[in-house]
Amino acid sequence: MEKSLKPRLLIGKPGLDGHDRGAKYVAQILRDAGFEVIYTGIRRSPEQIVDTAIQEDVAAIGLSLLSGAHNVLFGRVLELLRERGAEDVLVFGGGTIPPKDVPRLKEMGVAAVFTPGTPAREIVETIDGLLAQRPAV
């Protein structure tokens, strides 16, 4: 019997933010939904996150941030992906992100933004849907 595998994802905590309950929760719900999830741990630089994503050949990167530096750090991850020829990697994010910042993040290239209280099912369905729209490699 052939097993259907979902894509590999990476969850990263860029910057100096040390609270990772939300990131671990999202990693677990995505694992429970059948994804292989790599969690980088806290206090990773955008460079470390992108290096790991490329080494692990992930389909998507989820960034979790509570510090308010989401515009800068998410932007840097997207910039590094482009510089390294990995712009096909989907980027989504979450954390305490003010609603007024979401349009700017999406303009930068963040595919989806999840804030506290987003139902687990919505996160999984959104990620599934976004990845299904991407061309097969």
Tell me, what's the pLDDT at 134? 81
98-114 per-position pLDDT tens digit: 999 999 999 999 999 99
CATH for 8-132?
Answer: 3.40.50.280
59-80 per-position pLDDT tens digit: 999 999 998 999 999 999 999 9
Tell me, what's the pLDDT at 2? 46
Tell me, what's the pLDDT at 18? 85
8-39 per-position pLDDT tens digit: 999 999 998 888 999 999 999 999 999 999 99
pLDDT at 1 over 90: no
**How does 6-39 read in b/e, with b if 16+ C-beta sit within 10 Å?**
bbebbbbbbbebeebebbeebbebbeebebebbb
Q: Which residues pair with 10 in a beta bridge?
A: 38, 61
Domain chopping of the chain, boundaries: 8-132
pTM of the model: 0.93
